[in-house]
């Protein structure tokens, strides 16, 4: 009789522990992976390619695509025009803009925009995951964030940018300390440029 009660008690305790672990895992996966991701859930929009592929974007309908806060000049006639740099309440900074091919030939060099971290390379594919924010006063560099599966919180799935076309591109970073509103944005193969954080 006491063995049955002990077994039942152990099973009950194990069930409670499993339920608590499952609740923590669900909260960890979906709760705070992007600082207000419910408001900035990446949506899919057509890229400049004709192959029907789509790319992830964030807050595309909430930003002015005609705004020009800064322009980064890149290799092979590529330009990145920053249209929004917003500090979220969750402690993140989202940079949004348009990547334009100003040349006369299609651009296929998207892999050059990726970072060199193995986890991001495996999880994100062709993405703008190599972007960084540099706080020169605080002497700190901030890399593009990633989710729990190693995917970057940035635009992905861009196979090419057609000549004369633009594609929306976003990147999300940890926010510098409050009071720091001037940082330098860098993307591999592009010039670095100073941008101002709003919000």
Distance CA 5, CA 127 (A): 56
| Dihedral over Cα of 98, 49, 108, 41: its sign | positive
The Cα–Cα gap between 90 and 147 comes to: 15
**What pTM was computed for the model?**
0.66
Q: Of 49, 81, 38, 77, nearest to 63 (Cα)?
A: 81
Which of these ranges, 12-16, 48-52, 156-160, has the smallest mean pLDDT?
48-52
N-to-C CA span, the chain = 65
Contact (CB, 8 A) for 104 and 98: no
Enumerate the H helices of the chain as residue ranges. Answer: 2-30, 118-124
Instruction: Please name the residues in contact with 93: beta carbons below 8 A apart, sequence gap of 6 or more.
Output: 85, 86, 87, 133, 142, 172, 173, 174, 175, 176, 183, 197
Taking the C-alpha atoms of residue 130 and residue 132, their distance in angstroms, rounded to an integer, is 7
Q: Would you kindly state where each structural domain of the chain is located, as residue ranges?
A: 1-30, 43-196
The 3-state secondary structure of 44-57 reads EEECCCCCCCEEEE
Any idea which of 1-5, 78-82, 86-90, 163-167 has the lowest mean pLDDT?
Answer: 1-5
43-196: CATH topology: Immunoglobulin-like (2.60.40)
Kindly state the average pLDDT of the residues 77-105: 95
Q: Are 185 and 82 in contact (CB under 8 A)?
A: yes
- List the beta bridge partners of residue 153: none
Which has the minimum average pLDDT: 17-31, 38-52, 54-68, 175-189?
38-52
* Band (157; pLDDT cuts 50, 70, 90): confident
């Amino acid at each position: 009789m006491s063995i049955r009660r002990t077994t039942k008690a152990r099973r009950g305790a194990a069930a409670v522990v499993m339920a608590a672990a499952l609740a923590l895992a669900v909260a960890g996966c979906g709760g705070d992976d992007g600082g207000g991701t419910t408001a900035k859930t990446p949506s899919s929009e057509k890229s400049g390619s004709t192959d029907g592929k789509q790319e992830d974007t964030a807050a595309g309908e909430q930003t002015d695509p005609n705004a020009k806060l800064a322009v980064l000049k890149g290799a092979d006639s590529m330009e990145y025009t920053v249209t929004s740099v917003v500090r979220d309440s969750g402690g993140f900074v989202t940079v949004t803009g348009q990547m334009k091919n100003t040349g006369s030939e299609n651009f296929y060099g998207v892999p050059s925009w990726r970072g060199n971290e193995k986890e991001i390379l495996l999880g994100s594919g062709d993405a703008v995951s190599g972007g960084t924010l540099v706080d020169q006063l605080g002497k700190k560099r901030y890399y593009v964030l990633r989710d729990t599966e190693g995917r970057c919180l940035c635009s992905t799935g861009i196979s090419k940018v057609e000549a004369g076309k633009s594609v929306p591109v976003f990147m999300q970073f940890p926010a510098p300390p409050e009071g720091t509103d001037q940082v330098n944005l860098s993307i591999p193969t592009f010039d670095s440029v100073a941008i101002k954080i709003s919000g």
